[in-house]
């Protein structure tokens, strides 16, 4: 093990560059998959005819495939039907497809977890279906969705490392490049990237737990609506 040799400025800079790509890919995949999943989850919750059946089949299919396979497919198979992408967009697309399927289930079950009495109270006061969803169901469901959503986002960030299979220049790939030159660097470099993944993900989970604590204390306190003012 050669810590001094592994932790040169050049190597660390190279790892940080990789981490930048990791964060970039994760960020875009999180945003995209969240919006797609929001639409898919809501359509399935509202049981929109035909569309919700189509989404159900897609979601079930994707959820039961290995993410690694989806990444390989997006980067290596899609070009054969004329859709070729650079590594970063390909990684974002593959992760988005997979995560959107997972997250749509979180959103759908979050919406479904709201007591039917809430909906009846809204509808019987003359609110439309959409208004009931918007003002009554969604704000309550979002609060419940925060913990599972954050843990799914953490999974996504970790899963970007699977993109080594297409040599995406992200953190894990850059680590491989470094210890490929000198096997004495292997353990120090892996330790270093472990720390980086951990630091970001742990921060996210702490934030999520903070939100949860605030959510229950005092009753009705409005932590989520401060983050998502749209849904207050």
Partner 1 sequence: MINFEKVNKYFGDFHVLKDINLTINKGEVVVVIGPSGSGKSTLLRCINRLETISNGMLTVNNLSVADKKTDINKLRTEIGMVFQHFHLYPHKTVLENITLAPMKVLGQSEEEAKQIARKYLDKVGISEKADSYPAQLSGGQQQRVAIARGLAMNPEIMLFDEPTSALDPEMIGEVLDVMKALALEGMTMVVVTHEMGFAKEVADRIVFMDQGQILEEAIPAEFYENPKEERAQLFLSRILNH
Contacting residues toward partner 1, per CB under 8 A:
115, 117-118, 120-128, 131, 135-136, 139-140, 143, 218-220, 222
Kindly state the smallest distance separating residue 145's Cβ from partner 1, in Å.
13
Closest separation between CB of residue 113 and partner 1, Å? 13
Compute the least distance from the CB of residue 120 to partner 1, in Å. 6
Q: For the chain, percent helix, then strand, then coil, each to nearest 5?
A: 85, 0, 15
Burial of residue 117, with CB atoms counted within 10 A of its CB: 0-12 exposed, 13-18 middle, 19 or more buried: exposed
Residue (41 or 122) nearer to partner 1, CB: 122
Cβ-based neighbours of 188, under 8 Å, separated by 6 or more? 1, 2, 3, 6, 7
**Smallest distance from partner 1 to CB 135, Å:** 6
User: 214: which 2 tokens?
Assistant: 């605030």
**Identity of the residue, 26 or 142, whose beta carbon is nearer to partner 1 in the bound complex:** 142
- Which residue number, 135 or 202, has a Cβ lying nearer to partner 1? 135
SS3 of 92-133: HHHHHHHHHHHHHHHHHHHHHCCCHHHHHHHHHCCCCHHHHH
Question: CB-wise, 64 or 124, nearer to partner 1?
Answer: 124
Q: Which is nearer to partner 1, 119 or 187 (CB)?
A: 119
Query: Environment class of residue 9 by beta-carbon count within 10 Å: exposed (0-12), middle (13-18) or buried (19+)?
Result: exposed
Say what angle helices 171-181 and 186-216 make with each other, to 10 degrees: 160
* Least distance CB 159 / partner 1 (angstroms): 33
């Amino acid at each position: 093990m050669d810590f001094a040799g592994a932790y040169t400025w050049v190597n660390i800079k190279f790892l940080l560059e990789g981490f930048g790509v990791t964060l970039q890919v994760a960020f875009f995949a999180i945003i995209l998959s969240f919006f797609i999943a929001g639409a898919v989850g809501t359509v399935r919750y509202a049981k929109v005819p035909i569309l919700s059946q189509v989404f159900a089949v897609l979601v079930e299919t994707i959820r039961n495939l290995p993410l690694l396979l989806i990444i390989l497919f997006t980067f290596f198979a899609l070009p054969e039907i004329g859709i070729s992408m650079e590594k970063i967009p390909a990684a974002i697309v593959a992760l988005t497809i997979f995560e959107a399927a997972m997250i749509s289930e979180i959103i759908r079950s979050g919406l479904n977890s709201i007591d039917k009495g809430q909906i009846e109270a809204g509808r019987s006061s003359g609110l439309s279906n959409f208004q009931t969803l918007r003002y009554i169901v969604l704000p309550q469901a979002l609060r419940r969705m925060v913990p599972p959503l954050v843990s799914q986002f953490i999974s996504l960030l970790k899963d970007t490392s699977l993109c080594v299979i297409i040599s995406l220049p992200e953190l894990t790939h850059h680590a491989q490049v470094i210890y490929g030159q000198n096997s004495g660097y292997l353990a120090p470099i892996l330790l270093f990237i472990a720390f980086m993944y951990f630091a970001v993900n742990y921060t996210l989970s702490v934030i999520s737990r903070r939100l949860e604590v605030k959510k229950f204390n005092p009753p009705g306190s409005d932590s989520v609506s401060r983050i998502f003012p749209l849904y207050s």
